[in-house]
Structures are given as structure tokens and as C-alpha cells.
Structure 1
Amino acid sequence: MSLQNTFNVLLIGAGEINFGSVEGPWNHTKRLEQKLGSRLRVVGLVDLDQTKARAVIDEKKALIKDSYDSTEVFESIASAAEGLKGARLPQLAILGIPPQFRGQSSSGRDAELALIKAFPSISLFCEKPVTTGPIERIAEAQSVRDSLGKHAGKGVVGVGYMLRYLKACADIKDILRENNLTVMATNARYTMAYEYAVKLGWWDKSQSQGPIIEQATHFADLSRFFGGEVDLKSVSARTVEHDTSAGSLGKKGFDEEKIDAANRIPRITAAVWQYESGAVGTLMHSVALHDATYDTEIEIIADGYRLKLVDPYNAPVLYIRRPGLAGEEVRRYDQDDPFYSEISAMIDAVESGSSDGLLSTFDDALRTYEFTWAIRKAGEAVKP
């Protein structure tokens, strides 16, 4: 195969986001392989854990030699810039590292800025949320957005809000457009099964920033996707805190006493807001279920219509009530893979030079991040 037909990818992170795990569906290399086939060339992998990085590449080489045979392992973006030149320059970098190391301007947390400096024409695919950290870092993320905006025309930038790429979400958009509907309200529910969540950092707001920012971000984003821009000043919220009788949990598999009381996460967050269109939105995030199965759904209300998307992560089902329909129409999407769809759209954008097919840009994803912080702060402002 001609080198002109190959597609060069630089992977940032040797963990489950890029290489998968038994616990979840994230696995960007799998989708790159599906999309590009023999065209794929993973030219480099950046990870501080060199042993782990070499191990995952060796596993890939044994299965897909051409795509990984010449993959170099680097401990930093700067060293990757030194090692990847000429025909080995990456066209796309996949940022599969924790959000505290990207989306900011300070050294060690500035992966996007480091990449566009090292590779001036590179495109970026960033995981979500765009960053995490104290609320003051929103200003840093805005600075990164501005720098990436200047990068437009050299490379495209997409963010992995994969639920936007569900076929069910495309169907909802089509129904709204084809029937000339204006959304009146959105109602999202995210009920977490917490029994096997034992990493202390997730339960510590000083590390994970709390469940709205770290976990419910997908549903805050879908709310914006369907409802439009949020008037952040209108956001209000109430919480059930850890130190109330209603917030007592009986299936914790860790010692919460190791976390400072001020940093323990709320068990329930219930938020309401107004969209700039005048529509209203609600979101309830709950840390409540036992076992391992979550319960998630989002509902969109318009004149004469109720569109309810249930279990979008695993087995999406869309329930449609419309004028003249007795009962509900039910659409199931058992074979849909939004992770493939978002990677496919990203590759197409890189090769066309246009971000028109991307459903989540950095600027748009940053507005979701700002929105989730507004919910957290609104909940913290009112104490029982």
C-alpha cells in the first residue's frame, strides 16, 4: 500500500480509553482499526508508564502487525515531537488521558497546547469533559479554546461526547426538524449503581470535582444538544448530602472517613434551569442503586410530542408519543456503536479539513463544562 494512503495516529495515554477494558465500551484503537483497516499507522504512544505502554503495543503488534509494527513509545509529547518527523508525522492525536492533564494552560496540564505546538498541523480528538479542576480553571480552558480556535484551518478538533452520535439522537433531531417543533422542556435522569465504585478519588470532590461534572456531564451535554444554550444565571439546584439521614448509603465498598467531610460528594443533585429559548430543563443525578446496573434516560417535550430515550449507554430505546398515535412508537437500536460513529466522523473531518460533520467541538464542550459547574455551585449554595 502506498504511504500516501496511510493515516498516521498518535495516541496519548495507554489506558482503557484508548485500549479498552473488561468494564466498559471505551476503546478508541478498536474503532480506529474498524474505520481505517490496513491504512492505520499508529506512529506513537505517549505515556509516563513506559512498561505498560510497551506491553499494550506488543499485544496489538501480535494481532495487527502493519498498524503497530513501527509504533514508538514516548514518555512525553515533547519527546514524540523529536521522534516523529517526515512521513511519520501524525495527522491525528487521540487524547485518552484523565481530564486533569488537559484543557488547561499550565505545564503538565496542557496536552492540547503542547500538541499543536509540537505538531502545527495536527488534528485533535479529546475525551470529555474538556478538563477538570477547581472552578478557577474554567478561565484556563477558555484560553485553550481561544488557542485552538486560532489552530482552525491547520487541523480540526473534536470532543468525545459519544452519546450525541447515537442513531436515536439523530432520529430525535430529525423528528424535531421535520415537524418544525420547538423544544418546550428536557428532563434527564442519571441513577448510578454505586456498590462497585470503590476508588476514593471518585467520591472526593477535590479530585473528581463531583458526580455532575465527572459523570452526569453526558446528560448535561445531551440536554444542551436538544434544548439549546442554557442561561447559566437561571440554574438552581438542591442536593442530598452525605451527612443527612436521607444521604446514608449501606453498600459502600470503601472507607469514606478517609475523605475530608467537606469534599464528600452529594448523593442526589436535582437541578432546574431555563434555556435561552425560554424552554426549561431538569436533571437529577442519584448515587443510589446497588449491584452494577445504572438507570439513565432523557425526555424531550414539544407541542404534541414526547420523545424519551432510555438506556443510551447500553441498549438505547426511543419511545415516541406523537399526535394521532394510539400509544407509543418504540424504536430499538441494539447494534448502534456511537464510539465508532464519533471516530468515523473525526477521521472524515481530518481528511476533508472540515469540522462540519463533528457533533461536539471544543468550544461547544466547554459550554457543557461551564454548565456542569453552574449546577454544582448552585447545589453547594443551598445547604439544608
Structure 2
Amino acid sequence: MSSDQQNNEMASHTHAGRRQSERRPSDRRGSDRRFSDASRRPSIDPSRLIPMDKATHLGGHQDFNVVFVGAGNIMFGSEEGPWNHSFRLEHKLGPRLKVVALIDPAIDRAIMVLQKKCETFVRSAYENTRVFRTLEDFHKNMHPKERPKAVIIGSPPMFRGTTQPGRDIEMQLMRFFPGVALFIEKPVTTGPASEIDEAFAVAKAIDDSNTICSVGYMLRYLKAVQMIKRIIEENNLNVMSTIARYACAYEAISKPDWWDKSKSAGPVVEQGTHFCDLSRYFGGEVDIASVTAHSLEWHENAGQLSKQTIDESQIAPENRIPRVTAATWKYDSGAVGSFMHVVALQGHNYSCELEIYTDGYQFKLVDPYVQPILYIRRPGSDLDEQHRFPDDDPFFSEVSNLIDVIEDIEEEPESSQILCSYEDAVKTYELTWAIRLASEKSRKVHEAGEA
């Protein structure tokens, strides 16, 4: 299928999917339909986002059963990054946590990570965990006392986010365990653009079943992000522009699949998704038809890289990733957004920034993944305030808020909000695909002009 055909098909599916995925108003589950302006999404008082070491275990004595789908780095951590959902759940739930099942076809790997857990002080959470290759196997062999209260999904995105057998983990969960809360890693899927309508269908099924569901766009839970939200809301400001830039350190990326668009869906869809999501979080809904983009490709002179740690010659030329993708679009509000993804830096540290402009204000978020710094220029001043957040942990905040919603803790309802619903995440996925397709279309036009 050509890029033009994919674009047209994506547009037709998307509009249908959006009509089908209207959400009912919700107080705490992440829906933004209750806001007349789509940019007024759910937010949390930043002072209530406390670091993990300052949080107390959730009270109570009843076991909190959890199922993990995926035994990889997202779930159990690695030296490559700060992700580790099991670690955050252990600190949130304390002795209440009981991981009743670990689902992963790589049985040996699953057993190994469980053995390591059982050698630590959190043994009680894992000593009775059973390993299964598939979710269906667990369902068939589940004891009633093992019924989960939440399922944490950290399996590769190509195995979820659709209605197709084998790639429909969300639909399986709602069928096997109706009413059980879901946490799903981002992006929601990495199928072709023609399958976006299926992701919207999954979103509708989740909403129709009234399932509590949170998607792991953890940057929404940054104190700095919520500080920006608070200022915008308190001053009744309208976002005029968002400018996002994501420059990765490619020398440290040694996974061949990441360099192959046919497997990873490309760096904008797979990696830049966080910044596209933050852009939407502040700017509101994107007019998908307005998206334009250009790319610097691997075969162009400026696209030559000298420090790759993989053999790119083993990847088909048509599947090699672009070195730069630059996109612009209009929001439904009239505001303008832009995003640039760059594969250029060496070493290990990335360079990522997001700027937001409103009347009189400039917000600049720098290095959100590691040591967030927020610069704020306010009306009446030419100077930038600087705010640092050295102990912030958005991974813990997103897990903590999800558990509070599941437990229906009402003492401080405004402090417990799910900030990204499944439908919202699908719209971010839709934007990243629109950027990729627009860049491929402009590339073909450019190449045709040179012919």
C-alpha cells in the first residue's frame, strides 16, 4: 500500500473511530470529555505528587492481586533506564502486593526474574507467583482467590491494541476478567496505520465496559508538567503554540529492531510518542489533516552516521529509519504545534525539550526524563524563573494514582487522577503515524522532483 493510500485509509478509519469512541464524563478515570476545551485535560495539584521514598504503603490488610503481562525491562527494570513497574508497585502496596501470575512465552526468563525477587525483602509478593505462556492458560488454571484487581501490561506493543486474535490482549482481559483495572504501556500498539481504527475500537470497548484503564505516558505526571498545567488553568490561559524536540543518542541504541521501521514503526511512533503526547496534553486535539512533515533520510549526505553499533546493511533500505523528522500541525483550537525528532547525538545522554507559549508566558521544560528543569517567563518580566525537580518520579506517580482510583480513595479525590485514558493514548498514536506518513509523502515528492 502506498503512503497516499495509507493516508487516505487512515483518515477514513480515524474519523469513524472517533465517532465511535465518544466517552461518557468521568471524574477520575482520565476522560477529557467533561471539558469544553479539549486542552483542559485532567490535572493534579503538583504539591500532591510526592516522591516514592516519602510515600507510605497503602493501608489495609486485604491482598491486592496483580497479574504482570511481560517479564522484560519495563516490568522489572534494567540499567538502560528508570522504568521498573514492579518496583513502584512494591513501594505503593507494601505487603498487600501479591503477583499471582506472570505471563510471558519466555518461561525461563520469567522464572529467572521471579527467583531474583524471591531473594529480596519483597519475597512475599512473589513466592506464590505462577508463570504462564498465555493469558488464556492462566484463566483456565486460575483459582478464584487469584482473581486480579489489576493487570499490568508491559508486553511488546505489536502484540496488543487490536481486535485481531493474538494481538488483542486488552479484549482478552475484558472477556476473562470483566471489571479488572488495566495499566498499559505506551504506545498502545505498533501496527500499520490502517489498523488505527481497531485501536479506537479497543478504546470504545474499554469505555463501554467502564474499565479503569491508565496508559503509561508518565511524563504527564511530572511535577513540572503539572506546574505548567496549574498556571495555565489558574490564569485561564489559551495555549498558542507547542514546540517539541527529541534528540536521541543513537550510539547507545544497539537493538537492531529499533532501526527497522517494519519492526519498530519508526522513531517517531516508537520513541517520539512521549513528546507528541505532551504536545497534545497542552495543545488539545490535533487537526490530523493539517499535519505536514519532512525527513532527512539515511541515504542523503547529511544523514550519514559514524558511530552506529548495529549493522544497518542487514536492514532492507526501505525499512531504514530517517535521521531527522520535522513536523508541524494545527490544533482544533487554532494553535500551532511542531515536533522534531533527531537521530544525531553520540554518547548516552539524550537532549529533549518542550516549549509552550500562551499570552505573556513561555514555559520551557528541559531534560524531563532524568533531571527536569522548568523555565518560566511571566508577564512583566524578561527574566526566566528556574525550577528544578531532583526527586520527582513520574513512574511512581502514575502507578500510585492508578491504585488510588482502583481502591476508590476519596479523602483527596482531586489528588488521584488518571491523566491518560486509552482513547487519549490512541489519539497520540494517530498523531505519530500521521507525522510518519506525511514525512514519507514529502520524501517521495522530493525524490520525484530530483528524478
Q: TM-score range by the shorter chain?
A: over 0.9
1: CA distance, partners of 2:176 / 2:400: 25
Match of 2:123 in 1: 65
Match of 2:150 in 1: 92
How far residue 51 of structure 1 moved from its aligned partner, in angstroms, is 1.1
Matches of residues 16-31 of structure 1 in structure 2 within 5 Å? 16-31=73-88
Q: How many residues align?
A: 381
1: CA distance, partners of 2:224 / 2:286: 23
How far residue 85 of structure 1 moved from its aligned partner, in angstroms, is 3.0
Matches of residues 8-157 of structure 1 in structure 2 within 5 Å? 8-63=65-120, 64-152=122-210, 155-157=211-213
Contact 1:297 1:308 in 2 (8 A): yes
* Range 323-332 or range 25-34, more displaced: 323-332
Asked if residue 338 in structure 1 is aligned to residue 405 in structure 2, the reply is no
Residue 373 of structure 1 is aligned with which of 413, 421, 433?
433
2: CA distance, partners of 1:8 / 1:375: 40
Match of 1:253 in 2: 309
Match of 2:323 in 1: 267
Residue 382 of structure 1 is aligned with which of 434, 442, 448?
442
2: CA distance, partners of 1:292 / 1:218: 19
Secondary structure of the equivalent of 1:103? coil
How far residue 240 of structure 1 moved from its aligned partner, in angstroms, is 0.5
Secondary structure of the equivalent of 1:195? helix
2: CA distance, partners of 1:140 / 1:4: 40
How far residue 84 of structure 1 moved from its aligned partner, in angstroms, is 2.3
* Range 36-45 or range 348-357, more displaced: 348-357
**Residues 108-140 of structure 1: CA deviation (Å, up to 9, x unaligned):** 111111111111121110000000011112122
Match of 2:25 in 1: none
1: CA distance, partners of 2:382 / 2:184: 44
* Range 197-206 or range 222-231, more displaced: 197-206
Match of 2:217 in 1: 161
How far residue 148 of structure 1 moved from its aligned partner, in angstroms, is 1.2
* Range 105-114 or range 346-355, more displaced: 346-355
**Residues 292-326 of structure 1: CA deviation (Å, up to 9, x unaligned):** 11000100001111000000000000000001235
2: CA distance, partners of 1:310 / 1:336: 14
Contact 2:61 2:96 in 1 (8 A): no
2: CA distance, partners of 1:129 / 1:353: 28
**Residues 241-299 of structure 1: CA deviation (Å, up to 9, x unaligned):** 11110111111112111111111111000100010000001101000001111000100
Contact 1:104 1:137 in 2 (8 A): yes
Matches of residues 196-275 of structure 1 in structure 2 within 5 Å? 196-275=252-331
Asked if residue 305 in structure 1 is aligned to residue 364 in structure 2, the reply is no
Match of 2:12 in 1: none
Contact 2:243 2:337 in 1 (8 A): yes
Asked if residue 359 in structure 1 is aligned to residue 419 in structure 2, the reply is yes
Matches of residues 166-177 of structure 1 in structure 2 within 5 Å? 166-177=222-233
Residue 185 of structure 1 is aligned with which of 241, 258, 269?
241
2: CA distance, partners of 1:353 / 1:94: 20
1: CA distance, partners of 2:278 / 2:354: 8
Secondary structure of the equivalent of 2:90? helix
- The amino acid that maps onto 1:9 is V
How far residue 349 of structure 1 moved from its aligned partner, in angstroms, is 1.5
Contact 1:202 1:210 in 2 (8 A): yes
2: CA distance, partners of 1:232 / 1:277: 13
2: CA distance, partners of 1:290 / 1:372: 24
How far residue 92 of structure 1 moved from its aligned partner, in angstroms, is 0.3
With the length of structure 1 as denominator, give the TM-score of the two structures: 0.96
Contact 2:291 2:434 in 1 (8 A): yes
Contact 1:298 1:309 in 2 (8 A): yes
Pick 1 or 2: higher relative contact order, CA cutoff 8 A, min separation 6. 2
Contact 1:43 1:84 in 2 (8 A): no
**Residues 64-95 of structure 1: CA deviation (Å, up to 9, x unaligned):** 12211211111110111123232210010000
Which 5+ residue runs of structure 1 have no aligned equivalent? none
1: CA distance, partners of 2:206 / 2:240: 34
**Residues 21-71 of structure 1: CA deviation (Å, up to 9, x unaligned):** 011111000000110011111111001111111111111112112211211
Contact 1:145 1:362 in 2 (8 A): yes
How far residue 223 of structure 1 moved from its aligned partner, in angstroms, is 0.1
* Range 14-23 or range 143-152, more displaced: 143-152
How far residue 353 of structure 1 moved from its aligned partner, in angstroms, is 9.0
How far residue 330 of structure 1 moved from its aligned partner, in angstroms, is 0.4
The 1:379/1:268 distance shift into structure 2, 3 A limit, reads same
After the TM superposition, which segments of 4 or more aligned residues of structure 1 sit over 6 Å from their partners?
353-356
1: CA distance, partners of 2:409 / 2:263: 37
Secondary structure of the equivalent of 2:81? coil
The 1:91/1:163 distance shift into structure 2, 3 A limit, reads same
With the length of structure 2 as denominator, give the TM-score of the two structures: 0.82
